[in-house]
Structure 1
């Protein structure tokens, strides 16, 4: 039997609750399948670790998780610690050195969930947003000088490399090719950002020649927000920069019904390092400990993890179980307008997994 080593990093806030639920569901899935198992190692890194040690994770933290088959991550963000410390000290401290340059965020309206968009059903909103995850606006290049004085200056420099843009563009075209519609939208802001964004556009044109079977178009990021709301059926696969896709994918999740259901995969496509899977909802300290966090985003992230590990049948079984649960309004958590608790949704998914006909 194949045993997969999973590094579970709950992080902060509701991360502990949803990752615990995710591990419980994965173990139930492995038991149901019988051909594979999971060895889950838990790492208590995050804000509370920072309070004790002055850093979000150990100095050798990446060495501790670098040989795992995948990483299941909760959230980074603590009300007592500045956000840039929690983000750069944990999530980005894993993503960037592990070269997880392809951030993939699928979005669709799951059964039983109502989109805020009028007259939209699941067939009209079925997107995948590909986010460049290693450079761009989040490259970390910049600094501050003369802090506190009237002459203070601060810079954040967006860094784009031809190699970085080419590889994410090629990844996005390949992904678009694998989907039924073979349709890609390249998002940019090259009317105002006339250097890096113009290079982004030029590389898109060059890479597109390798994929004559993929239909593609280009949108400015501000116009793309309007298109997502007014013409969702015209969109399938999207590729954008680190910042633009970060914003667009949150909008996409809200349009699908809730941030609580949205998954993320941070891929190192070459598999030189483990990839990381996480819900996009953040730490949500306002509901921490109340037992009402929506675990669906974590479960859907686990689906992506199973696909990455080479377990497509198990991934399909879990996705069907998720859809069976979301179709039941009694199992909707408060973010979806219901009264269910995290444990209720988790138990419902496990029950669906265990049914013979799923």
Structure 2
């Protein structure tokens, strides 16, 4: 039987454990499709881009890579980075090149506490915790504006400028995205992260835009919190969080903190969305390429599998996404855990358990 819907997905494992976790997510999605009664299928095309490709060609991806990717329904990404290539070269040459050129302006990073995984937070033992960080993903501190100058004046005289870009339109669209997301959650609340006491231009525009947008959502509770205070709140009062919206840098740091509080960066899923669907969106685990454990079967695939669930949501397969999340929960509750969360299971063991739990 031919599938009613076939989704074309570009797989970009990239570097290190990226290859292992992308393979893990693909196995789970293919198992889900095989048992769908022909309702849907996935058509995969894998690309060899990354630091190894850079060492061979001097480029992180094909020159026409963006044109090739444009025709896919989604991109499933692994992790980028390797010691032999400077991090700013690898990141800007591949991941940020895709995100920025495809205007994937909404980065969604859930912070989820899984059963069977011990959190460093004692509060997590007895308090339900679950929130999501919404990251402005197109401008802010990662806009790429600036430069290095005056090196010709001799050692010690060079100046580097890194300019954060805040536009009213950019702030407004990510905030409306956060408010719309909050309306669908049990706790209808949006927490805006700012640093307007010290950054008196960009962050003041952020604050003013948030206050204006909030007036259109009277049913949603709001708060505006300085980023340093929000860092403390993640640790001391996380039960008060539902949707946290922040600029590119602030949300990047805070979401990593949230994942660490949940137990490991290996658990963290993310979606880089172009909500208007003018371009394909990209789904990837938050963790890095982990060269120290690459190829050893020790990588935690849960972040990548959770990212696959976010991709299913994007495709309108919300029931199937819920099945994948339930299978992850059943796996962690059974104690089938990789070493980063205190277990002894290999990557393949976790994948096999998730697929088995899909059938249950």
User: For the superposition of Structure 1 and Structure 2, which TM-score range results when normalised by the shorter chain?
Assistant: over 0.9
Deviations along 1:116-173, one digit per CA (max 9) or x if unpaired, are 0013148532010000000000000010113363210111000111111111111111
- Counterpart Cα distance in 2 of 1:310 and 1:201: 33
TM-score (norm 1): 0.97
Contact 1:106 1:264 in 2 (8 A): yes
Aligned partner of 1:229 in structure 2 is 235
Aligned length in residues: 354
TM-score (norm 2): 0.97
SS at match of 2:198: coil
1:5 to 5, 8, 11: 8
SS at match of 2:312: helix
- Counterpart Cα distance in 2 of 1:265 and 1:297: 11
Q: Does 1:318 align with 2:324?
A: yes
- Counterpart Cα distance in 2 of 1:146 and 1:14: 40
1:348 to 343, 346, 353: 353
Give the direction of change, closer, same or farther, for the CA distance of 1:123–1:36 in structure 2 (3 Å limit): farther
Contact 1:304 1:315 in 2 (8 A): yes
Aligned partner of 1:98 in structure 2 is 102
- Counterpart Cα distance in 2 of 1:76 and 1:55: 13
Aligned partner of 1:54 in structure 2 is 58
Give the direction of change, closer, same or farther, for the CA distance of 1:322–1:173 in structure 2 (3 Å limit): same
Deviations along 1:3-35, one digit per CA (max 9) or x if unpaired, are 000000001110000001111111001011121
Give the direction of change, closer, same or farther, for the CA distance of 1:258–1:207 in structure 2 (3 Å limit): same
Contact 1:124 1:232 in 2 (8 A): no
Deviations along 1:285-309, one digit per CA (max 9) or x if unpaired, are 1100110100000000000000000
Aligned partner of 1:212 in structure 2 is 218
Q: C-alpha root-mean-square deviation of aligned residues, in Å?
A: 1.0
Q: Where do 1:151-300 residues align within 5 Å? A: 151-300=157-306
Aligned partner of 2:34 in structure 1 is 31
- Counterpart Cα distance in 2 of 1:303 and 1:280: 14
Aligned partner of 2:310 in structure 1 is 304
- Counterpart Cα distance in 1 of 2:74 and 2:190: 28
Deviations along 1:207-254, one digit per CA (max 9) or x if unpaired, are 001101000001000000111101111111100000000000000000
SS at match of 1:33: coil
Contact 1:125 1:256 in 2 (8 A): no
SS at match of 1:285: coil
- Counterpart Cα distance in 2 of 1:313 and 1:168: 26
SS at match of 2:142: strand
Deviations along 1:177-213, one digit per CA (max 9) or x if unpaired, are 1111101100000000011100100000000011010
Contact 1:108 1:122 in 2 (8 A): no
Aligned partner of 2:334 in structure 1 is 328
Aligned partner of 2:123 in structure 1 is 119
